[in-house]
Amino acid sequence: QVQLVESGGGLVQAGGSLRLSCAASGRTFSSYAMGWFRQAPGKEREFVARISSTGGSTYYADSVKGRFTISRDNAKNTVYLEINSLKPEDTAVYYCAARYRHATSRIGEYDYWGQGTQVTVSS
């Protein structure tokens, strides 16, 4: 029903920056809250950031606050995650997800997921 495609991942040295993008299908993108999650090898998927359907409200995990910025452009059906001051512990597969209307940090409450984009941070 809703297709999400992440891009922008890659191999970056510690201290560098990346901008991840998540392109969504459909004309109802503006009705969906969006979230970013990540999963490191051997770890459970964890919440990173979320943004309301209008873009008026954002929320971040404590571990990334001040370094990550989530934004959206509803005209382009795209959500972004700007990552600065990358650390090796940021290495993970990053996923975007969509939930109708209401934002949440809970993985189980998102209905649509992308396939993920790999972010690898070298020391």
Query: What is the per-residue DSSP string for 60-118?
Result: E-TTTBTTEEEEEEGGGTEEEEEE-S--GGG-EEEEEEEEESS--S-GGG--EE---EE
Task: Residue 48: name the closest of 18, 81, 22 by CA.
Answer: 81
Tens digit of pLDDT for each residue in 78-100? 999 999 999 999 999 999 999 99
pLDDT bracket for residue 1 (50, 70, 90): confident
